[in-house]
Structure 1
Amino acid sequence: MGAVFALVANPVCGRLSDASASRFGRCRPFMAGGVLLATLSLVVVGSAPDIPTMLAGWCVLQIGVNAALAALIAVLPDRIPEHRRGRVSGLMGMTNQVATVAGTFLIQLTGTHGLGMFLVPALIGVVLVVVFACHLREVPQSRTERRPLGWTMLLLGIAIVVGSNVAGWLSDLLERRKMFIGVASLLFAAGMVVIAFSDSVTGFLVGVTVAGAGQGVYVGIDYALVASVLPDSEGEAAKGMGLFNIANALPQSVAPAVAPLFLAIGGADGEDNYTALYLAAAAFALLGAFAVRFVRGAR
């Protein structure tokens, strides 16, 4: 249940942040508000008298955490110059490992009983996020500048949620991972091809839905596949997953530099070639499907 709320909250809160016209900026309200909501939810989780109360607190916690996370991650493309994104992306990629190691030491101080084990890490998060938000230079956008909310992006979020949860369940049932990554890549490539040659809104929405389903299948399996092939999952899991986080973040920095090359193909009168861009995305997805064949140690 927590995963479902997380998968929905992240893209939805991210879209709301993009459309925000708050005088405090687009990202800062979601950073601070999200981490404060998560902290209050941890109070509920830590003091819950029964499972339903704990479940409710955990689901609200996922909304708060992912609202803050969506706004924090957006700082990279929004505020970081392109020539520094690689370095910042590398720092962001290692944060999971740092947090895991720090949490291991912290739990020895707080113990595993009572509210302390929930509130001490949460309060550290509140302080760090609020300090970061206060120092983040962000120019508020006016109501005329903001992009209108559209149901198309929520459509994409639904496709990702459904695809990831169904694929994750089937993967455990069949005890196979690589097959689903291949299917995800093929679905995403198919969606990109549909979008590339679409000449109507309906065709575009079909492509978005197919690509979203592929992306959902991928995000539902990728962590499980990586975890199954880690050389030392018991002793050095954080290091391995930290490298994987870097691998996830790095393409987001490389893509803005590569995309103009495809947009310029055959461009006339200053028009960008989006057909070439989407076909290139499909080709990269197919290369990903092919590369998974060489993964050893997992089915």
Structure 2
Amino acid sequence: MSSTSSDAPEELRPPITETTFVATASGEDDPPAPIKGVRRLLGWIIPANFAIFVIWGAVPGILLPHQIELLYPDPKQKVATFAIIATVGALCALVAQPIAGQISDRTRSKYGRRAPWILVGAIAGGLALTGLAFANSFVGILIAWCLVQVGYNIAQGPLSAVLPDRVPVSRRGTFAALSGIGLMAGALGGQVVGSLLFNSMVAGYIFFAVFALIVLALFVVFNPDHPSTNFAREPFRFSDFISTFWVNPIRHPDFFWAFTGRLLLYTGYFGVTGYQLYILSDYLGVKEPNTVIPLLGIIGLVGTIVATIISGPLSDKVGRRKPFVFGSSVVMGVALALPWLWPNFTSWLIMTAIIGFGFGMFQAVDTALMSQVLPSAKNFAKDLGVVNIAATLPQTFAPGIAGAIVLAFGYAALFPIGIVLSILGAICVWFIKATK
């Protein structure tokens, strides 16, 4: 281990404990031995991620645009309104996750640093989702959606920190692959379930709220966190709070390149897929888009699962991450070219399968890569919150930017921009030195 070892012979070094690991380790280091419960975590991370991301797939992708469409039937007005609500809501997520991560890193309790906040986030998000179900005005929807974003990001940040906290480096590709299966199965499965509940929004919102709470509570019960009462208490400084949103790119260049690569690729992806409902109806001429979304979700899910199962364990076996990330971005760029050059529903079907494979490959390996460029175990959840800004920031600005592009140039302009961003994201990964 790089940060916790010294020049002394190994037999003379003091044992690495959970306390010294948190005080001195970085993302390149294994958790201290004995590492227990990893196999159980490998199983539970799938439903835990699924429970959160099924909401991100169903609500902003299906139910929320439909809810807005019912209030504003005019095509231009619905696009503009959705862009505003999605942008403001995701901005709340951008702020919430690293702050929640910093609070989690500093939590000292017999239940550990992560478990209490996973439960708090699940409860808060569920209450907000229930409120969204009954919102019937622009202001009501905006406030409720912002609270949903804050609540579930409070849970998501500490949940993502389980990887560097408790999983050895040699198994992170496998863990990230399973995490990616849960993530993408949730995101794509959410589209399927959301479309089935297209005309029953209240029931849909309440169902997702209850489902997430039950699954995340079970995750906490069956994967108890390490007590953190013996960890050194970090004094609160306002400068530390401000630095929540910042990791020095000069001191930590690998972190910067990994962050930037994810930011660009996610922006290209969500800039197009975030408007799927409207693209299907207004660009490809599908009369009832909600009826075909279950098929699209299943097709994308198959591609994602196949890519994830192959990519994560294979990256562990060959000891390389970057080639998989680069390959995924090329695959996604090719997929986005299809509906741009061939604008019909058939091309969208083919694109869905290919981009699902590419994004699954990316998600499986990029999570492991990210965990290895984290600067310090003291701040795993905070730094992962900053990392996840690279995922939430595109959801913050992509709807607004994409909406402006659509209003100015039409839906076709989204695709070449997505292709360029995907390729640029891959180029950034090659500058990372900490991993191959």
- The verdict on a shared fold, with TM-score over 0.5 as the criterion, is yes
Residues 52-111 of structure 1: CA deviation (Å, up to 9, x unaligned): x99998866665455456567779987863663464132243266157437x534x1x48
Out of 119, 131, 141, the position equivalent to 2:127 is: 131
Residues 125-149 of structure 1: CA deviation (Å, up to 9, x unaligned): 5643443344435349746999334
Indicate the percent of aligned positions where both proteins have the same amino acid: 22
Question: What is the aligned partner in structure 2 of residue 90 from structure 1?
Answer: 94
Q: 2:118, 2:85 → 1: CA distance?
A: 31
The offset of 1:184, in angstroms, is 0.6
- Work out whether residues 372 and 434 of structure 2, in 8 Å CA contact, stay in contact via their aligned partners in 1: yes
Cα RMSD over matched residues? 4.0
- Work out whether residues 76 and 88 of structure 1, in 8 Å CA contact, stay in contact via their aligned partners in 2: no
Question: What is the aligned partner in structure 2 of residue 105 from structure 1?
Answer: 108
Out of 214, 219, 225, the position equivalent to 2:358 is: 214
Q: Does 1:183 align with 2:320?
A: no
Q: 2:294, 2:128 → 1: CA distance?
A: 30
Q: Which structure is richer in relative contact order (CA contacts within 8 A, separation 6 or more)?
A: 2
Q: Does 1:171 align with 2:308?
A: no
1:203/1:61 Cα in 2 relative to 1: closer, same or farther (>3 Å)?
closer
Q: 2:64, 2:94 → 1: CA distance?
A: 11
Question: What is the aligned partner in structure 2 of residue 285 from structure 1?
Answer: 422
- Work out whether residues 104 and 117 of structure 2, in 8 Å CA contact, stay in contact via their aligned partners in 1: no
Runs (5+) with no aligned partner, structure 2? 1-39, 69-81, 137-196, 202-287
Question: What is the aligned partner in structure 1 of residue 182 from structure 2?
Answer: none
The offset of 1:296, in angstroms, is 2.2
- Work out whether residues 228 and 298 of structure 1, in 8 Å CA contact, stay in contact via their aligned partners in 2: yes
- Work out whether residues 164 and 220 of structure 1, in 8 Å CA contact, stay in contact via their aligned partners in 2: yes
Question: What is the aligned partner in structure 2 of residue 29 from structure 1?
Answer: none
Residues 22-80 of structure 1: CA deviation (Å, up to 9, x unaligned): xxxxxxxxxxxxxxxxxxxxxxxxxxxxxxx9999886666545545656777998786
Aligned length: 234
Letter in 1 for 2:371: A
- Work out whether residues 92 and 246 of structure 1, in 8 Å CA contact, stay in contact via their aligned partners in 2: no
1:180/1:189 Cα in 2 relative to 1: closer, same or farther (>3 Å)?
same
Question: What is the aligned partner in structure 1 of residue 433 from structure 2?
Answer: 296
Runs (5+) with no aligned partner, structure 1? 1-52, 112-116
Q: 1:58, 1:184 → 2: CA distance?
A: 23
Q: Does 1:241 align with 2:237?
A: no
Question: What is the aligned partner in structure 2 of residue 41 from structure 1?
Answer: none
- Work out whether residues 162 and 213 of structure 1, in 8 Å CA contact, stay in contact via their aligned partners in 2: yes
1:209/1:197 Cα in 2 relative to 1: closer, same or farther (>3 Å)?
same
Q: 1:150, 1:158 → 2: CA distance?
A: 12
Q: Partner of 2:378: helix, strand, or coil?
A: coil
Q: Partner of 1:296: helix, strand, or coil?
A: coil
Out of 251, 255, 279, the position equivalent to 2:394 is: 251
Q: 2:52, 2:64 → 1: CA distance?
A: 18
The offset of 1:277, in angstroms, is 1.6
1:72/1:190 Cα in 2 relative to 1: closer, same or farther (>3 Å)?
closer
Q: 1:95, 1:73 → 2: CA distance?
A: 23
Question: What is the aligned partner in structure 2 of residue 44 from structure 1?
Answer: none
What does 1:264-283 align with in structure 2 at a 5 Å threshold? 267=409, 272-274=410-412, 276-283=413-420
> Under a length normalisation based on structure 2, what TM-score does the superposition of the two structures give?
0.45
Q: Partner of 2:372: helix, strand, or coil?
A: helix
Q: Does 1:194 align with 2:338?
A: yes
1:100/1:212 Cα in 2 relative to 1: closer, same or farther (>3 Å)?
same
Q: Which moved more, 1:126-135 or 1:180-189?
A: 126-135
